[in-house]
Amino acid sequence: MSEPKYSGFLPGKHVIEAYGQGGFRFGGMSHKGSILALPSGISAWSVHTPDEIDVTSLASVFQEPKGAIEHLLVGTGQALVPLSAALRQALREAGIVAEPMTTGAAANTYSILLREDRLVAAALLAVP
């Protein structure tokens, strides 16, 4: 029996091909739910609302090698929701600039910056 192509983690860097309808397309496949797009790969993210975005839910971001991420685009859903001061401070101490924006803007910006070979990551809440 072969392993599934995607089991909640797809190694490598992949542009976001599409978003909406509760999920995302990337790497030639689709995923329902929120995602973390990191230099190490794209993984399912169990966060559903902006108030769940914190240091704990972004632990994978802090586990990436130091210097691998300069910008973290945070897609907060259909509306822009500011990040907490504590989260912004923790990211700043890790050398990461966090930029909250709507999920659509974050997904599009992430793909552009990734194509430019920038040190970028994205935390994207699924939107309808």
Q: What is the CATH number of the domain that holds 115?
A: 3.40.1230.10
Strand order in the sheet with 23-26: 16-20, 23-26, 29-32
Query: How many domains does the chain contain in total?
Result: 1
The percent of residues above 70 in pLDDT, for the chain, comes to 95
- What is the model's pTM? 0.93
* 69, pLDDT greater than 70: yes
Q: Is residue 1 in some structural domain?
A: no
* 8, pLDDT greater than 90: no
Positive or negative: CA dihedral 71, 81, 115, 29: positive
- Please tell me the predicted confidence (pLDDT) of residue 7: 65
Q: Is residue 3 in some structural domain?
A: no
Per-residue confidence band for 99, with pLDDT thresholds at 50, 70 and 90: very high
